[in-house]
C-alpha cells in the first residue's frame, strides 16, 4: 500500500493579538508542480500578485468569514465582498505556511525549547594552510 501524496489542506489562522485573530480558512496545499510554477523554480517567471490571489481563491476550501452578519461563502462572487486587507493577509499566511512553519502554526506547548544537545561538543582544531588546500 502506498502513501497518499495528495496535497494536504492548510489551516490559515492568526495569533492572538493580531488584527485578524479569529479569522480562519481551510486552503488546499499545492502539488510540487504548482509550487515550482508559483515560485518560478520551474524556470518560469513565477506568480505575480494577481496570479497568487487567483491561486488562493481557487484553493480555498472553507472559511469562517461573515459579511454584514451573514456567513460569506467561499465562492468567487462572495469573495469579492470581503475586506481586501484581510484577504491579502490570509493569502500571505497561506503562502508562508506552504514555505515552512508559519508563525500562526507554532510548535505544541510540550515541544522542547531547542536547548543544546546533552552530548559533549566535538573538539575541532583549525586547519593549517597545507590542510586547507
Which of these, 53, 47, 54, 59, lies nearest to 92 by C-alpha position? 53
The answer to whether 89 touches 14, Cβ cutoff 8 Å, is yes
| Alpha-carbon dihedral sign for residues 33, 74, 83, 99 | negative
Among all chains, which residue has been given the C-alpha cell 493579538? Answer: 17
The pTM assigned to this predicted structure is: 0.69
Series of mean pLDDT values for 10-residue runs along the chain (133 residues): 90 95 95 90 89 91 94 87 93 88 54 54 64 59
Provide the pLDDT for residue 98.
86
Instruction: State residue 39's pLDDT score.
Output: 86
Give the model's pLDDT for residue 86.
95
> What pLDDT score was predicted for residue 67?
93
pLDDT at 49: 87
Amino acid at each position: 500500500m502506498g502513501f497518499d501524496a495528495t496535497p494536504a489542506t492548510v489551516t490559515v489562522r492568526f495569533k492572538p493579538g493580531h488584527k485578524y485573530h479569529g479569522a480562519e480558512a481551510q486552503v488546499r496545499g499545492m502539488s510540487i508542480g504548482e509550487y515550482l510554477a508559483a515560485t518560478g523554480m520551474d524556470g518560469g517567471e513565477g506568480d505575480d500578485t494577481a496570479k497568487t490571489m487567483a491561486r488562493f481563491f481557487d484553493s480555498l476550501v472553507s472559511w469562517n468569514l461573515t459579511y454584514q452578519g451573514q456567513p460569506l461563502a467561499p465562492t468567487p462572487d462572495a469573495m469579492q465582498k470581503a475586506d481586501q486587507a484581510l484577504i491579502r493577509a490570509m493569502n500571505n499566511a497561506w503562502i508562508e505556511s506552504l514555505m515552512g512553519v508559519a508563525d500562526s502554526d507554532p510548535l505544541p506547548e510540550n515541544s522542547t525549547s531547542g536547548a543544546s544537545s546533552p552530548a559533549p561538543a566535538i573538539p575541532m582544531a583549525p586547519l593549517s594552510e597545507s590542510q586547507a588546500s
